[in-house]
Amino acid sequence: MFLPIFMSLVFSLAAEAQQPRFEHFTRVSLQDKFPAHLNLNTETVRCSHIGYGTAELKISVPALKWSAVFDHANVGEAEPCMTAGFCKMPWLDDGHTVEDFLALVSGPQQVEIQRVLTEGFALNLDQRSCTRTLSETLNTTVAGVEFKHFVSKRIGDLPFEICLEIQAGL
């Protein structure tokens, strides 16, 4: 009885010892705002599951084509978009509907989009390597409803020592 428990513990510790040790940190590279023109109607406001596991209320934001760093159009979508979260479904008490949203606001609208670019660093302490990512988070409010979108990409590796210098400077 004791031996199987002991061996299980030994194998568990051995597996844990083989896992590389990582350290993660981030820094904000840019935080700004930019204007965007929206034309809200039944073609640009929709409930769609494209890019998500469930239907979400989305608005098309054409200005993201030239104002954002990353492409914020989900595969299968014609325009870049932002989402306000779940659409109302028969089994959900809350959520959004296109009709309710367009009853609040429709037609041409000018909004301000808040952008945060964040660099992420993953230090592999065992291999002395450093991988860098860049994330873009967008937020805006339309008629009291918050819309957001997020894209993150790996942008390459940096020398381990440079990442340590960056981390020390935070």
Residue 130 within a domain: yes
C-alpha 120/C-alpha 155 separation (Å) is: 10
Whether residue 13 is predicted with pLDDT greater than 70 in this model: the reply is no
The count of structural domains within the chain is 1
pLDDT per position as a tens digit, 44-96: 999 987 767 788 999 999 999 999 999 999 887 889 999 999 998 877 778 88
Tell me if 28 sits within 8 A of 116, measured CB to CB: yes
The β-bridge partners of 145 are 142
Distances from the Cα of 61 to the Cα of 10, 25, 54, 109, 136, angstroms: 55, 31, 20, 11, 15
12 in any annotated domain: no
In a domain, 8, yes or no: no
87 domain residue, yes or no: yes
Q: Using CB atoms within 10 Å of the CB of residue 64, give its burial: 0 to 12 exposed, 13 to 18 middle, 19+ buried.
A: buried
pTM: 0.82
What range defines the domain where residue 77 resides?
Answer: 21-168
Residue 47 lies in a domain: yes
Does some domain include residue 15?
A: no
Residues 115/136, Cβ–Cβ less than 8 Å: yes
Residue 131 lies in a domain: yes
Looking at the chain, list the stretches that DSSP marks H as alpha helix, in order from N- to C-terminal side. Answer: 2-18, 64-67, 98-104, 160-168
Q: Model confidence over 106-131: pLDDT tens digits?
A: 999 999 999 999 999 999 999 999 99
Is residue 7 in some structural domain? Answer: no
